[in-house]
Amino acid sequence: MRLQVDENRCISAGQCVLAAPDVFDQRESDGVVELLEAHPPRQSWESSRTAAALCPASAIAVRES
């Protein structure tokens, strides 16, 4: 699995951090998403997919390859 975030689309809702705090964080200055793990470990795949699905701005892309 590979994750990508589009910081320009992010609206700082924080749903990704709530769903997968080991994979996502938010910048202190403006709350925009920070990707901590572009290739998360297998145990984080489900929460990463959930985070992408919950993102109201569709700023998280999941590549299954």
Residue 2 CA to residue 11 CA, distance in Å, equals: 22
Q: Where are the domains of the chain?
A: 2-63
**Total-model pTM:** 0.94
Q: Residue 42 corresponds to which tokens in the numbers above?
A: 């297998």
Fold of the CATH domain 2-63: Alpha-Beta Plaits (3.30.70)
Q: Record the tokens describing residue 20, joined without a space.
A: 């997968």
Per-residue model confidence as pLDDT tens digits over 10-63: 999 999 999 999 999 999 999 999 999 999 999 999 999 999 999 999 999 999
Confidence category of residue 4, pLDDT binned at 50, 70, 90: very high
pLDDT of residue 65: 74
CA distance 24 to 14: 9
Question: DSSP per residue over 3-62, as a string?
Answer: EEE-TTT-----HHHHH-TTTEEE-TTT--EEES-SS--GGGHHHHHHHHHH-TT--EEE
